[in-house]
Chains A and B, each alone.
Chain A
Amino acid sequence: AQSVAQPEDQVNVAEGNPLTVKCTYSVSGNPYLFWYVQYPNRGLQFLLKYITGDNLVKGSYGFEAEFNKSQTSFHLKKPSALVSDSALYFCAVRDIYSSASKIIFGSGTRLSIRP
């Protein structure tokens, strides 16, 4: 069965510092990994995805994520945090060889950036 774990409910970072939001996954085949962000009273916004190839994926708003197959991780990173990055972040996974579009989401990590 596919699953995603986000071990931290909340991450607090000072503005200007680097940030990392952790994600580990479990799938039966090759993973197709996503990060989405949710602002208050909004739907989910797509940040980036990993399908295959380069382990470092660059996405929207200066975010990037590193795929690590041996550690089954896909951590989200940003070199310098902004107050406007404060939001709820979701890691998600799908088996790319499945015909289903169903995405399994992690429980979410609330990112709080202090000025």
Chain B
Amino acid sequence: KAGVTQTPRYLIKTRGQQVTLSCSPISGHRSVSWYQQTPGQGLQFLFEYFSETQRNKGNFPGRFSGRQFSNSRSEMNVSTLELGDSALYLCASARLAGGTDTQYFGPGTRLTVL
């Protein structure tokens, strides 16, 4: 079974631009969560989608948004990029939301903001 895939793997943008990251979950998984990983803040939860609905949101500004499609694929968008948005963005999928399901992570997208 294929794992979680994320595209692109690497991105370089400049301040003020916007960016869209994509995540394809494991087949049959309907929950997709996004995390930001930085050396200073560690791993922080961004948001979770299940059945095309945002279920939970972390403490990030409104510049960070996302959506989920009917095939469970998810996209994350960051508008008006800031230098501090440079990070590894990880997507994780699970069969269901909450409960005891394990989240499986993709390889991440490394975003560099210049």
Which residues of A are at the interface with B, using a C-beta cutoff of 8 A? 32, 34, 36, 41-46, 49, 51, 90, 96, 98-108
Contacts and interface: CB of A to CB of B under 8 A. Distances in A.
B74 interface: no
Interface string B42-62: 110100101000011010000
B80 interface: no
B43 A101 contact: no
A contact face: mostly helix, strand, loop, or mixed = loop
Interface of B: 4, 6, 31, 33, 35, 42-43, 45, 48, 50, 55-56, 58, 90, 92, 94, 97-108, 110
Contact of A96 (B48, B99, B104, B107): B99
A49 B102 CA distance: 8
B94 A101 contact: yes
Contact of B104 (A41, A46, A107): A46
Given A44-B105, A46-B104, A102 B58 contact: yes
A101 B58 contact: no
Contacts of A32: 100
B42 A105 contact: yes
Contacts of B55: 99-101
A98 B6 CA distance: 27
A45 B55 CA distance: 24
A101 B108 contact: no
A98 B55 CA distance: 12
A100 B6 CA distance: 22
Nearest to A36: B105
